[in-house]
């Protein structure tokens, strides 16, 4: 498990410059960030609607349109996620309820699984980026930093509800992972998957990435793993001015 970054075979200086110009233009960043956050909400509603039949909105579009800074956009997203996790909790077994999102360290079993799943999602997006000319170090929503593939953090937001949270829901409902020392350990005041738990999680996660859904635009089935690559290409088209970015919605398809 990890990230391996060989020589940039598909590296494009032209696209890197265009990505940098978008990052340096606050209005273009805000435009992309609004699209992203709305895409996140669409995936939250699609996931919860698929399970509980309730597609209540988490966003007021007028508030989103009035945002003047990325920081304020993130505050809106944080409130949206708080409401989303409250509804998600109602679907989970008591032992795996999230209560509130905590990362360093995750304080309960639910947070531990989400954190591990999100990390695997980041690395999968980075792997997908290697097959494109996109520079994964230049974001538009999160801030860049040395040694950080920040664009993977941006685009992962769209996939968290439809891929990570759906996966978590399935494995805990099916009893594949149990809230005990067989699969988890208490470490540094938090709860983390142990080696046995990680092995099981990774085995099912790999199968989950190969799971296929019908892609309405392509009119054929594609794997979750391939969706990550398609999203990277869609983002590149937006940067090139070819086609406006339209985030994937899962499980409904594009």
Q: Is 4 a domain residue?
A: no
Q: Is 13 a domain residue?
A: no
Q: Is 5 a domain residue?
A: no
Banded model confidence at residue 252, pLDDT cuts 50, 70, 90:
low
164 φ, ψ to 5°?
Answer: -70, -50
Query: Using CA atoms, how far apart are residues 211 and 62, in angstroms rounded to an integer?
Result: 36
How many structural domains is the chain composed of? 1
Query: Using CA atoms, how far apart are residues 54 and 63, in angstroms rounded to an integer?
Result: 22
Tell me the three state secondary structure of residue 222. strand
pLDDT at res. 62: 77
The total of other beta-carbon atoms located within 10 Å of residue 190's CB is 17
Q: Look at the chain and count its residues.
A: 254
Query: Using CA atoms, how far apart are residues 247 and 237, in angstroms rounded to an integer?
Result: 12
Q: Is 3 a domain residue?
A: no
Q: What value does the CA radius of gyration of the chain take, rounded to a whole number of Å?
A: 18
More confident residue, 132 or 148: 132
166: domain CATH number is 1.20.120.920
Secondary structure, 3-state, 80-137 = HHHHHHHHHHCCCCHHHCCCCCCCCCCCCHHHHHHHHHHHHHHHHHHHHHCCCCCCCC
Of the candidates 229, 183, 186, the one whose C-alpha atom is nearest the C-alpha of residue 204 is 183
pLDDT at res. 151: 95
Is residue 108 within 8 Å of 99, Cβ to Cβ?
yes
pLDDT at res. 146: 67
Q: What is the DSSP string of 41-85?
A: HHHHHHHHHHHHS-------HHHHHH--SHHHHHHHHHHHHHHHH
pLDDT at res. 52: 77
pLDDT at res. 101: 77
Mean pLDDT of the chain, nearest integer: 88
Summarize pLDDT for 71-100 with one digit per residue, the tens.
999 999 999 999 999 999 999 998 988 877
Q: What is the pTM (predicted TM-score) of this model?
A: 0.89
More confident residue, 105 or 193: 193
Q: Is 11 a domain residue?
A: no
pLDDT at res. 13: 79
Q: Please measure the distance between the N-terminal and C-terminal CA atoms of the chain and give it in whole angstroms.
A: 29
pLDDT at res. 28: 95
Assess whether pLDDT exceeds 50 at residue 203. Answer: yes
Of the candidates 100, 75, 78, the one whose C-alpha atom is nearest the C-alpha of residue 88 is 100
Of the candidates 254, 198, 202, 201, the one whose C-alpha atom is nearest the C-alpha of residue 228 is 254
Banded model confidence at residue 145, pLDDT cuts 50, 70, 90:
confident
Is residue 220 within 8 Å of 213, Cβ to Cβ?
no
Banded model confidence at residue 11, pLDDT cuts 50, 70, 90:
low
Q: What angle do CA 216, 34, 238 make, to 5 degrees?
A: 60
Summarize pLDDT for 47-77 with one digit per residue, the tens.
998 887 767 788 877 778 889 999 999 999 9
pLDDT at res. 254: 45
Query: How far is residue 248 CA from its own chain's centroid?
Result: 11
To the nearest 10°, report the CA torsion of 146, 151, 157, 158.
-170
pLDDT at res. 105: 81
Please report, rounded to a whole number, the percentage of residues in the chain having pLDDT higher than 70: 92
Q: Is 10 a domain residue?
A: no
Q: Is 143 a domain residue?
A: yes
Enclosing domain of residue 79: 24-240
Summarize pLDDT for 102-139 with one digit per residue, the tens.
777 888 899 999 999 999 999 999 999 988 999 999 99
More confident residue, 40 or 4: 40
Q: Is 15 a domain residue?
A: no
Tokens 């290409």 correspond to what residue? Answer: 233
pLDDT at res. 209: 96
- Percentage helix, strand, coil, to 5, in the chain? 55, 5, 35
Summarize pLDDT for 150-169 with one digit per residue, the tens.
999 999 999 999 999 999 99
């Amino acid at each position: 498990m990890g990230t391996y970054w060989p020589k940039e075979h598909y590296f494009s200086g032209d696209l890197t410059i265009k990505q940098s110009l978008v990052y340096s233009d606050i209005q273009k960043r805000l435009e992309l960030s609004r699209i992203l956050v709305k895409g996140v909400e669409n995936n939250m509603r699609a996931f919860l609607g698929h399970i509980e039949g309730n597609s209540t909105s988490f966003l007021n579009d007028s508030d989103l349109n009035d945002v003047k800074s990325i920081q304020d956009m993130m505050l809106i997203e944080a409130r949206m996620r708080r409401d989303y996790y409250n509804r998600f909790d109602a679907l989970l077994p008591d032992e795996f309820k999230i209560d509130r999102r905590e990362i360093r360290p995750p304080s309960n079993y639910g947070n531990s699984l989400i954190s591990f799943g999100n990390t695997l999602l980041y690395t999968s997006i980075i792997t997908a980026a290697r097959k494109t000319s996109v520079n994964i170090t230049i974001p538009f929503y999160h801030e860049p930093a040395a040694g950080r593939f920040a664009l993977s953090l941006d685009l992962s937001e769209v996939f968290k509800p439809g891929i990570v949270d759906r996966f978590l829901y399935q494995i805990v409902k099916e009893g594949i992972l149990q809230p005990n020392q067989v699969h988890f350990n208490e470490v540094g005041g938090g709860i983390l998957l142990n080696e046995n738990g990680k092995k099981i999680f990774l085995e099912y996660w790999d199968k989950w990435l190969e799971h296929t859904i019908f892609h309405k635009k392509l009119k054929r089935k594609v794997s979750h793993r391939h969706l990550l690559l398609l999203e990277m290409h869609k983002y590149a088209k937006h940067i090139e001015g070819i086609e406006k970015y339209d985030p994937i919605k899962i499980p409904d398809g594009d």
